[in-house]
């Protein structure tokens, strides 16, 4: 069920009405769980059992980490993480492993290759890991410990809600247990931040339906071998358009998730903070898919040793983290290459900073920003064309198709639909205020009201053809 479909809007409205009905206030969390189950089953009813299995593993392991025998707490935590990872590896990477290592006609090979990809598995598995690790880490902290109910049924309800809450179930943001669990409680309709909800939802739907969905229909031209017919300029603009599309698609999705959660009285962490104005790769990863990068930093990079064991080890940790982060996106080696490209850039940037000093590059911020944007955009090619030979063909075509005529109309539309993303970033630069302020805390002036009214007008009249969110496949 897409966030943009009428069925989803109906589900949200019905859930919202029931959720705040005075006689059902006690059942708020079960109502959201029921809505989440319906939401998941609507898209993939045959794999609902897997979500339930994953939730059950996390209910038991997190409970035992707090209430099991003290000398086994670590064991339960390790088992919880391992089971979570096993589910992820089996379902997400089974087909890749099957294609790579098993003989095609063998039973095991056929089983692995034909495994279905459960929607949202990467997201709800990571949240499960966060729950088990946070519970283990903070099991002696009374404030956190009190969130793990002694009553197993109540705890099961909490875990189910944490992992399954529908706005973030299939594509995040990845919410950490220590951030979300303290928020669970009774909510009142008077406490709903209507202005915030309205703005995040309108902006999110605008980015998704008007910008990303329209760009999607144009970046379709990046299909092998058809792209070889286009000029170098056309290919570069297409790549630029895809970069804008992937941002609008995922940032749009994340904003919708934030707005929906806020309608029910919950807060998610912001997932995008104007990433295309980043002036370094480290800065980019502090702004792009923040919930994933902070998860990787906290649960992978730092446990690997982070930057605490010398320069060489730091570079290696960066590479390992980014390659695994790349593979998290999809079961194809091109995602690992994408992760490696980012890991290398981060390591190189660190090396240059360590060797020549950071102050040397402070004066060339604009140049650095352009370099980071160009590199990041080029790397998106690995997302658009998962076959590595097609990526190389695309790059060859950019270099050799200079004399071919341009696709003027496609170029014009891509630039036009990219303008809101560019404007969005420049507006933020112009404001020179953090994202949270610009979205949540500014007063709703008449000018702002007019802008949001215009965005709503464009959502109604100028949406592109309906398409799944790019990150649904991850």
Partner 1 sequence: MIWKSILTTVLLLIVYTLFIRYSGITISRTAQTTAQRNIVKAEEFLYENSTHCDTLIVGSSMSERLQEQQLTPHCYNLSFSGLSSLDGLYLIQAGGRVPNVLFVEINSIARESPSSLDLTAVADPTSRTLKQWLPFLRQKYQPVGVLKALLRDWQHGSSDLIAPESAYRLDTALQQKMVHQLHGTMNLPLSVAATDSSFKKAHAFLSQLQRRGTTVILFEMPINAQLENLLAPRTIRAYADRYFPAPQYQHIVLPADSFRTSDGIHLLYDESLRYTSYLHAQYAKLAQTVPKRS
Interface residues with partner 1 (CB under 8 A) are: 194-195, 198, 202, 214, 217-218, 220, 225-226, 228-229, 404-405, 409, 413, 416-417, 444, 446, 448-450, 452-454, 456-458, 460-462, 464-467
Q: Is 357 left (phi over 0), alpha (psi -120 to 50) or beta?
A: left
- Token couple for 430: 């112009």
CB nearer partner 1, residue 296 or residue 459: 459
User: CB 40 → partner 1: shortest distance, Å?
Assistant: 19
| CB proximity list for 253: less than 8 A, separation 6 or greater | 3, 171, 204, 208, 469, 471
User: CB 416 → partner 1: shortest distance, Å?
Assistant: 7
User: CB 337 → partner 1: shortest distance, Å?
Assistant: 24
CB nearer partner 1, residue 336 or residue 411: 411
Chain-centroid distance, C-alpha 322: 15
Q: What is the dihedral of CA 166, 172, 174, 180, to 10 degrees?
A: -30
CB nearer partner 1, residue 53 or residue 449: 449
Nearest to 179 by CA among 83, 255, 270: 270
CB nearer partner 1, residue 101 or residue 444: 444
CB nearer partner 1, residue 146 or residue 462: 462
CB nearer partner 1, residue 341 or residue 459: 459
Maximum separation of any 2 CA atoms in the chain, in Å: 73
How crowded is the C-beta side of 56, counted as CA atoms within 13 Å?
7
CB nearer partner 1, residue 195 or residue 298: 195
CA–CA distances in Å: residue 221 to residues 210, 226, 228, 230, 381: 18, 7, 10, 9, 13
User: Of all helices (H) and strands (E), which one includes residue 247?
Assistant: helix 232-263
User: CB 54 → partner 1: shortest distance, Å?
Assistant: 27
CB nearer partner 1, residue 354 or residue 466: 466
User: CB 104 → partner 1: shortest distance, Å?
Assistant: 16
Instruction: Provide the terminal-to-terminal Cα distance of the chain, rounded to the nearest Å.
Output: 16
User: CB 418 → partner 1: shortest distance, Å?
Assistant: 13
| CB proximity list for 213: less than 8 A, separation 6 or greater | 463, 464, 465, 466, 467
Residue 359: CB atoms within 10 Å: 8
User: CB 50 → partner 1: shortest distance, Å?
Assistant: 23
Quote the CA–CA distance of 448 and 443 in Å, as a whole number.
Answer: 9
User: CB 404 → partner 1: shortest distance, Å?
Assistant: 7
């Amino acid at each position: 069920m897409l966030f943009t479909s009428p069925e989803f809007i109906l589900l949200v409205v019905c859930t919202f009405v029931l959720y705040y009905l005075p006689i059902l206030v006690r059942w708020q969390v079960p109502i959201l769980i029921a809505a989440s189950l319906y939401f998941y089953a609507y898209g993939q009813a045959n794999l609902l059992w897997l979500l339930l299995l994953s939730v059950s593993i996390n209910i038991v392991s997190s409970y035992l980490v707090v209430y099991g025998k003290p000398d086994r707490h670590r064991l339960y935590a390790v088992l919880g993480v391992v089971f979570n990872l096993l589910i992820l590896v089996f379902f997400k990477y089974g087909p890749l492993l099957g294609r790579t290592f098993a003989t095609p006609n063998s039973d095991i090979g056929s089983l692995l290759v034909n495994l279905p990809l459960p929607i949202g598995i990467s997201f709800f598995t990571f949240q499960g890991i966060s729950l088990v690790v946070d519970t283990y880490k903070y099991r002696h902290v009374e404030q956190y410990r009190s969130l793990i109910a002694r009553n197993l049924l109540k705890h099961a309800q909490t875990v189910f809600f944490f992992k399954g809450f529908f706005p973030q179930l299939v594509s995040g943001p990845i919410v950490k247990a220590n951030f979300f669990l303290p928020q669970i409680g009774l909510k009142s309709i008077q406490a709903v931040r209507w202005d915030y909800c309205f703005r995040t939802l309108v902006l999110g739907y605008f980015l998704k339906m008007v910008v990303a969905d329209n760009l999607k229909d144009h970046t379709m031209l990046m299909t092998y071998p058809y792209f070889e017919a286009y000029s170098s300029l056309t290919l570069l603009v297409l790549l630029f358009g895809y970069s804008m599309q992937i941002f609008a698609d995922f940032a749009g999705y994340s904003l919708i998730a934030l707005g929906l959660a806020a309608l029910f009285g919950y807060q998610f962490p912001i997932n995008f903070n104007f990433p295309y104005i980043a002036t370094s790769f480290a800065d980019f990863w502090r702004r792009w898919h923040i919930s994933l990068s902070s998860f990787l930093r906290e649960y992978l990079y730092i446990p690997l040793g982070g930057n605490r064991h010398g320069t060489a080890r730091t570079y290696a940790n960066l590479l390992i983290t980014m390659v695994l982060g790349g593979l998290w996106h999809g079961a194809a080696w091109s995602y690992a290459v994408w992760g490696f490209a980012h890991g290398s850039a981060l390591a190189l940037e660190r090396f240059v900073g360590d060797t020549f000093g950071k102050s040397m590059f402070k004066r060339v911020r604009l140049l650095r920003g352009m370099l980071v944007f160009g590199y990041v955009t080029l790397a998106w090619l690995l997302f658009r064309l998962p076959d590595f030979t097609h990526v190389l063909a695309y790059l060859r075509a950019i270099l050799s198709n200079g004399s071919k005529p341009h696709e003027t109309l496609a170029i014009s539309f891509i630039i036009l639909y990219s303008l809101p993303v560019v404007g969005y970033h420049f507006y933020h630069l112009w404001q020179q205020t953090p994202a949270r302020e610009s979205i949540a805390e500014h007063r709703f002036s008449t000018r702002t009201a007019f802008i949001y009214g215009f965005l709503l007008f464009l959502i109604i009249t100028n949406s592109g053809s309906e398409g799944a969110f790019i990150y649904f496949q991850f």
